[in-house]
């Protein structure tokens, strides 16, 4: 895909995101209060940014040119799966455990929390998306690894959604992958274009992605990786995602970013002063 093609697709996704954001703010499902939360300043922000990301990204993928039908279906399924199960956790959070290990621990003891349901749901839709992306000739090992990549990237991106704009900036860091061309590059263009359009309200602390948007964006990027990488690349990515996820259980990403000058400056770029 040419740079111009990537820019056009990203721009179309961005326009869809702004439209979805405006529509959801005017007509919030269940009322605005259902989506309102308080931030660390005691100010009210909305979680509607997440549904706006999901609707725009899924719609842009469905209408994007030169993406095979099976890959479109896989990407839309992964994006909607991440969004729906993320929204369940955002709106009806139950249980006190946090992180992947905590949610799995609850499930191991027979307690199904919204976090545990999210793990199961995104894992299931990730496997189905990987099967769709691979087609009839996909081997079981490729489906399992692909599903783990999709679910793992959905979870990993959500781990970055702890400060205004951070998760969206991580999505934008994948933009160079659009230069690789092909269907995978088009999926990345959609993910990045949608993120760019919603960055301003996130940085200004009007809104946040929440699990809804972060899980959806991560799942979409994971699907792009499954489509664009060979078997060795998918294995390597899964190992990397797994290592970062395990590290997050012991090490605070926020503290690491704060101690690293370049990362700290990038993380704070455009954000309101503390």
User: 127 with 140: CB under 8 angstroms?
Assistant: no
Phi, psi of 225 (to 5 degrees): -65, -40
pTM score of the predicted model: 0.93
For residue 41, the Cα-to-chain-centroid distance in whole angstroms is 25
One pLDDT digit (tens) per residue for the chain, 274 residues: 667 888 899 999 999 999 999 999 999 999 999 999 988 788 999 999 999 999 999 999 999 999 999 999 999 999 999 999 999 989 987 655 565 665 566 666 566 677 778 889 999 999 999 999 998 888 999 999 999 999 999 999 999 999 999 999 999 999 999 988 899 999 999 999 999 999 999 999 999 999 999 999 999 999 999 999 999 999 999 999 999 999 998 999 999 999 999 999 999 999 988 7
Q: Report residue 199 as tokens.
A: 């960055």
The C-alpha atoms of residue 273 and residue 103 are separated, in whole angstroms, by 34
User: 183 with 227: CB under 8 angstroms?
Assistant: yes
The C-alpha atoms of residue 22 and residue 198 are separated, in whole angstroms, by 11
Q: b/e for 57-82, b at 16 or more Cβ within 10 A?
A: bbbbbeebeebeeebbbbbbbbbbbb
Nearest to 46 by CA among 165, 155, 205, 185: 205
Query: How much helix, strand and coil, in percent to the nearest 5, is found in the chain?
Result: 75, 5, 25
Is residue 44 helix, strand or coil? strand
Is residue 53 helix, strand or coil? helix
The C-alpha atoms of residue 97 and residue 184 are separated, in whole angstroms, by 35
């Amino acid at each position: 895909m040419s740079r111009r093609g990537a820019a056009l697709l990203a721009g179309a996704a961005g326009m869809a995101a702004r439209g979805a954001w405006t529509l959801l703010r005017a007509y919030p499902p269940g009322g605005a209060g259902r989506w309102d939360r308080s931030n660390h300043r005691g100010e009210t922000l909305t979680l509607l940014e997440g549904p706006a990301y999901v609707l725009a990204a899924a719609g842009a993928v469905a209408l994007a040119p030169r993406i095979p039908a099976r890959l479109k279906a896989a990407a839309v399924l992964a994006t909607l799966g991440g969004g729906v199960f993320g929204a369940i956790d955002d709106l009806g959070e139950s249980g006190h455990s946090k992180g992947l290990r905590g949610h799995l621990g609850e499930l191991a003891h027979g307690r199904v929390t919204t976090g545990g349901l999210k793990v199961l749901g995104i894992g299931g839709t990730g496997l189905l998306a990987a099967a769709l992306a691979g087609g009839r000739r996909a081997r079981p090992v490729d489906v399992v690894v692909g599903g783990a990549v999709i679910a793992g990237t959905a979870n990993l991106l959500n781990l970055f959604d702890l400060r205004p704009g951070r998760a969206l900036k991580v999505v934008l860091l994948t933009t160079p992958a659009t230069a690789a061309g092909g269907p995978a590059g088009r999926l990345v263009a959609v993910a990045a274009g949608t993120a760019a359009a919603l960055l301003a309200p996130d940085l200004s602390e009007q809104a946040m992605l929440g699990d809804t948007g972060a899980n959806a964006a991560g799942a979409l990027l994971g699907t792009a990786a499954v489509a664009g990488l060979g078997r060795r690349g998918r294995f390597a990515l899964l190992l990397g995602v797994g290592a970062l996820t395990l590290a997050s259980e012991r090490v605070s990403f926020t503290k690491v970013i704060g101690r690293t000058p370049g990362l700290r400056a990038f993380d704070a770029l455009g954000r309101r002063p503390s």
